[in-house]
Structure 1
Amino acid sequence: MERRTFLRAMIGTGATMALGFTMTRPALGYPAQTGTSPYGPLRPADANGIMLPEGFTSRVIARSTKIVGGTSHTWHSAPDGGACFADGSGWIYVSNAEISSGGGGVSALRFDSSAQITDAYSILSGTSRNCAGGATPWNTWLSCEEIDRGFVYETDPWGSIGAVRRDAMGRFKHEAAAADPDRKVIYLTEDESDGCFYRFVPNTWGDLWSGTLQVLAESNGVLDWANIPDPDGSPRRTRKQVSDARKFNGGEGCYYRAGTCFFTTKGDNRVWAYDAATNKLEIAYDDNLTDNPPLTGVDNITAAEVGDLYVAEDGGNMEICIITPDDVVAPFLRVTGQSSSELCGPAFNPVGNRLYFSSQRGTTGSSSGGITYEVTGPFRTAA
């Protein structure tokens, strides 16, 4: 029997599964199953090579190594994780640069209320492999270095305040961050095949200068948060310091909303749901638990206000897939002619009617060929 068939049979019979989570009654809708998108099927590719549902359009807003239109700023290579911030009646989109050897950093695009770009500029430079990150409730962007003993940098989307390295958040192969204002913690993922899921507990909420780094641990099926003895990760790496730390296969995107932190792991192609209120961990999506799975190569993740999750693919067939609150997974868009790239940085503007994302290597397959897009259309406001 194939693993997918076996696992689905186990769920169907209500059997206990040794997958490191408890199948509770509220989570019986998990994992998401293939279904029809609320936006309908994808239409043929548009002039930008993007397949979208009826009523949606795309435009290119920046290209790596090229001057951003209407500004004097050269857009960075290898665009990766990103987020949007309200700016009066407009907004700002920030984007990481996943370049090694000090070539990384973060750039920003400023839009007016008509979605026209009015400025572009750098808010962090001289770092390495800035992959994903996360926005904070106090309107800063946490940019994470995906290198051994990498740092988290707190940056100002407006570029008025210099970026600050947040050493207390630990040194490891950082991937993404998600702020939980309810418990006043920051969740962190780690891109290692034996990586961990962390949370940083600041001494003062809103100030990341000092605090406690913890790791999700599991003993006899019970989850708990354990302090990391040495967040500096030297000589012993953070993921190896707590013996019962829960391991995850290649942590990627991370997003918190309404009591749940969703995060992805690329090694087993899963979307996890950590219920912070009940301290339970569920599998929200697994391609081995889904017939004809549309989502493979899970990576960056974001959400619309209505509750839909949007998961970008690194691999697969270059799609951003939607997972609805009623646990239906389906393609939302597909980028064609760019099979040597990956999709990253999905983020909605504050109003929720424009989605930004990048193809990291574009049509060339090179980091200098990155393309950043905007998708506009009738995004739903109610499930």
Structure 2
Amino acid sequence: MQSKLHFKTLIILLGFHCLNAQNIADFTSVTPASPIDSFVIPSSHTFQMLAIAGDVLTAGGTLPDTPDFTGYVPIANSSTNGYLSLNHEKAPGDVTVFDLNLNGTTNLWEVTASQAIDFTAWGDTAANCSGTVTSWGTVISCEEFAYIPGNLIDFNFDGYNDVGWNVEIDPATKTVIGKHWAMGNMAHENVVIHSNDRTVYQGADSNPGYLYKFVANTAQDLSSGDLYVFSGSKSGVGAWIQINNTTQDDRNKTIELSAAAGATVFNGIEDVEIGPDGMVYFAVKGEGRVYRFSDSDVLETTTSTVTMETYVGGMSYDINDGSSTTSVAWGNGNDNLAFDGQGNLWVLQDSGNAYIWVVKNGHTQASPDVEIFGISPTGSEPTGITFTPDFKYLFLSIQHPSSGNVANQTDAAGNVINFDDGTTLVLARNENLGAPLSINNEISKGFKLYPNPINETKQLHITGKDIKNVRLYSILGEEMLNSDYDNVSDVDLIIKNYNPGLYLLRINNQFTSKLIIE
């Protein structure tokens, strides 16, 4: 049995040619558990840190905390060259744009420029939460901060509540296109734009919260159009009710007008996405469900029929981690959503154990197919989330982790990360991110270790010039050993106290190898 498990591990590590065609959603679920200091993901995948709060920006200033929507904007539909627009859920709000590309030699992402967006001409922003990337290469950043009846916030005296809007940004020029007043004022969490470039679905992350449909007058121009709110059954048929959105007063009071229209109440609508099946999916955090609906005519108004059902949530699902099966309650807090290239729905959880769920294509409540991809570090929630056009790379952020976290987790670039502050990442399968780590005797720069794999009863020999330090980490980033040396050329390690499995051996805090203990 041990040899079979060892062979399976080797297949994963080596990245044989037959595995190169595997997709980002090909993994074995992690074991359901409470968060720890480390970022728990399958051994088939890795991550690279792109930025952490406090980093110096190339255009001046430093990177704010509380990263949220992590929107990859491809340049000419490239999966290796683009912009990354990063929201910061704080008051006043911020958006940072990175220029980045995948280095073809190192197989690592490089940030070549970074700049904060200037919102002063638009009354600033607040609580920039999630958003979307448009088909025309811009970003919608959503302000999760709404007008409070009788308490208009209008410091720039333009007649509009200063915050609570969808804000469009051009990441190429690092400028603001505008706040889209006609789309209504609410605690915006996210929007999704139909392929017709006119119809937009959105929700209010509040209680009461409501589901909206906006139809722009002109494609790729969200500055004017008609606004509708949903009324009907959450497990049946409903319709759209048009609400006024032409005057400043109308636009400031979207929530009040929705309530007066008899709209259906949802307890905190988070993300909204359109699936490959053409249906619209939206997460309701306080109800612990992801609903989906069909819209009989996306451009039709009050005569369009909406048919809605629960897609996932409200029950427990069997999670198999490769060795055992555990029934896990979905719970509340389903937040950010994204579909991958195989039609699987990725769901980030903002509460409970901060899981990253993957609902497999073909899942139904009667025949569930749900997996757990990851567990966000202690105190945090996973936020984001977008893919490159080829779906090889996933961008997300780790928001508000505990400041006392000491993960000592090594990323694909060899950086040791503690996850003790807001961190932005890119994830991929091992074979798609970073130079492959050695799984034989040769590491780099003349350093060698042998034997590898090694039986737990033997000594591990390390040779090389000027060995100053050797560290051993578990695959989850827990530091198992840390020994200093005086520029020696040979080191022998006793490893009989370590359990069989996959480890990372790091020499002089610079060169890393995978080590298999049998």
TM tier, smaller? 0.7 to 0.9
Listed as ranges, the matches of 1:259-278 within 5 Å are: 259-277=278-296
Please give the alpha-carbon distance, in whole angstroms, between the structure 1 residues aligned to 2:95 and 2:65.
10
Question: What residue number does 1:351 align with?
Answer: 390
SS at match of 2:315: helix
Question: What residue number does 1:16 align with?
Answer: none
Task: Label 1:358 to 1:334 Cα distance change in 2 as closer, same or farther (>3 A).
Answer: same
Please give the alpha-carbon distance, in whole angstroms, between the structure 1 residues aligned to 2:255 and 2:143.
19
Please give the alpha-carbon distance, in whole angstroms, between the structure 2 residues aligned to 1:318 and 1:225.
34
Listed as ranges, the matches of 1:57-206 within 5 Å are: 57-67=46-56, 74-88=62-76, 89=78, 90-100=81-91, 103-114=92-103, 115-125=109-119, 126-149=124-147, 150-182=164-196, 184-206=198-220
Please give the alpha-carbon distance, in whole angstroms, between the structure 2 residues aligned to 1:235 and 1:286.
29
Residue 298 of structure 1: how far off its partner (Å)? 0.6
Q: Of 337, 342, 361, which residue of structure 2 is paired with 1:325? A: 361
Residue 128 of structure 1: how far off its partner (Å)? 0.3
* Amino acid across the alignment from 2:177: A
Contact kept? 2:48, 2:427, Cα under 8 Å:
yes
Task: Label 1:96 to 1:67 Cα distance change in 2 as closer, same or farther (>3 A).
Answer: same
* Amino acid across the alignment from 1:375: L
Please give the alpha-carbon distance, in whole angstroms, between the structure 2 residues aligned to 1:191 and 1:308.
24
After TM superposition, the score normalised by the length of structure 1 is: 0.80
Higher normalized contact order (CA 8 Å, seq sep 6+, divided by chain length) = 1
* Amino acid across the alignment from 2:55: K
Residue 212 of structure 1: how far off its partner (Å)? 0.8
Listed as ranges, the matches of 1:245-260 within 5 Å are: 245-258=263-276, 259-260=278-279
Contact kept? 1:43, 1:51, Cα under 8 Å:
no
Please give the alpha-carbon distance, in whole angstroms, between the structure 1 residues aligned to 2:341 and 2:209.
30
Please give the alpha-carbon distance, in whole angstroms, between the structure 2 residues aligned to 1:179 and 1:379.
33
Task: Label 1:211 to 1:75 Cα distance change in 2 as closer, same or farther (>3 A).
Answer: same
After TM superposition, the score normalised by the length of structure 2 is: 0.60
In structure 1, runs of 5+ residues without a counterpart are 1-36
Contact kept? 1:50, 1:58, Cα under 8 Å:
no
Q: For 1:67-118, what per-residue CA distance to the aligned partner results, in whole angstroms no more than 9, with x for missing partners?
A: 26x7756222111123211124412221111112xx2021122222322111
Question: What residue number does 1:363 align with?
Answer: 402
Q: Of 196, 208, 226, which residue of structure 2 is paired with 1:212? A: 226
For structure 1, which segment, 214-223 or 306-315, has the greater mean C-alpha deviation from structure 2 after superposition?
A: 214-223
Q: For 1:311-353, what per-residue CA distance to the aligned partner results, in whole angstroms no more than 9, with x for missing partners?
A: 11111212211011121111111223x2x22111111122211
Q: Of 241, 251, 262, which residue of structure 2 is paired with 1:232? A: 251
Please give the alpha-carbon distance, in whole angstroms, between the structure 2 residues aligned to 1:300 and 1:219.
23
* Amino acid across the alignment from 1:56: H
Please give the alpha-carbon distance, in whole angstroms, between the structure 2 residues aligned to 1:124 and 1:71.
12
Please give the alpha-carbon distance, in whole angstroms, between the structure 2 residues aligned to 1:315 and 1:321.
13
Question: What residue number does 1:20 align with?
Answer: none
SS at match of 1:82: strand
Please give the alpha-carbon distance, in whole angstroms, between the structure 2 residues aligned to 1:249 and 1:267.
5
Identity between Structure 1 and Structure 2 (%):
27
Contact kept? 1:82, 1:94, Cα under 8 Å:
yes
C-alpha RMSD of matched pairs (Å)? 3.0
Contact kept? 2:27, 2:373, Cα under 8 Å:
yes
Question: What residue number does 1:223 align with?
Answer: 238
Task: Label 1:341 to 1:121 Cα distance change in 2 as closer, same or farther (>3 A).
Answer: same
Task: Label 1:40 to 1:71 Cα distance change in 2 as closer, same or farther (>3 A).
Answer: farther
* Amino acid across the alignment from 1:163: I
Q: For 1:146-177, what per-residue CA distance to the aligned partner results, in whole angstroms no more than 9, with x for missing partners?
A: 11231111111223443311101101111110
Task: Label 1:129 to 1:107 Cα distance change in 2 as closer, same or farther (>3 A).
Answer: same
* Amino acid across the alignment from 2:62: T
Task: Label 1:44 to 1:200 Cα distance change in 2 as closer, same or farther (>3 A).
Answer: closer
Task: Give aligned pairs, total.
Answer: 337
* Amino acid across the alignment from 2:205: D
Question: What residue number does 1:284 align with?
Answer: 311
Task: Label 1:320 to 1:294 Cα distance change in 2 as closer, same or farther (>3 A).
Answer: farther
Rg larger in structure: 2
Say yes or no: does 1:376 pair with 2:428.
yes
Contact kept? 1:91, 1:350, Cα under 8 Å:
no
Please give the alpha-carbon distance, in whole angstroms, between the structure 1 residues aligned to 2:197 and 2:264.
20
* Amino acid across the alignment from 1:269: G
For structure 1, which segment, 228-237 or 252-261, has the greater mean C-alpha deviation from structure 2 after superposition?
A: 228-237
Question: What residue number does 1:8 align with?
Answer: none
Please give the alpha-carbon distance, in whole angstroms, between the structure 2 residues aligned to 1:91 and 1:373.
15
Q: For 1:188-231, what per-residue CA distance to the aligned partner results, in whole angstroms no more than 9, with x for missing partners?
A: 11111221100111011111111011111128953111111244
Q: For 1:43-77, what per-residue CA distance to the aligned partner results, in whole angstroms no more than 9, with x for missing partners?
A: 899x9822222321112111112226x77562221
SS at match of 1:51: coil
Contact kept? 1:124, 1:155, Cα under 8 Å:
no
SS at match of 2:222: strand
Please give the alpha-carbon distance, in whole angstroms, between the structure 1 residues aligned to 2:308 and 2:173.
37
SS at match of 1:163: strand
Question: What residue number does 1:334 align with?
Answer: 375
* Amino acid across the alignment from 1:94: S
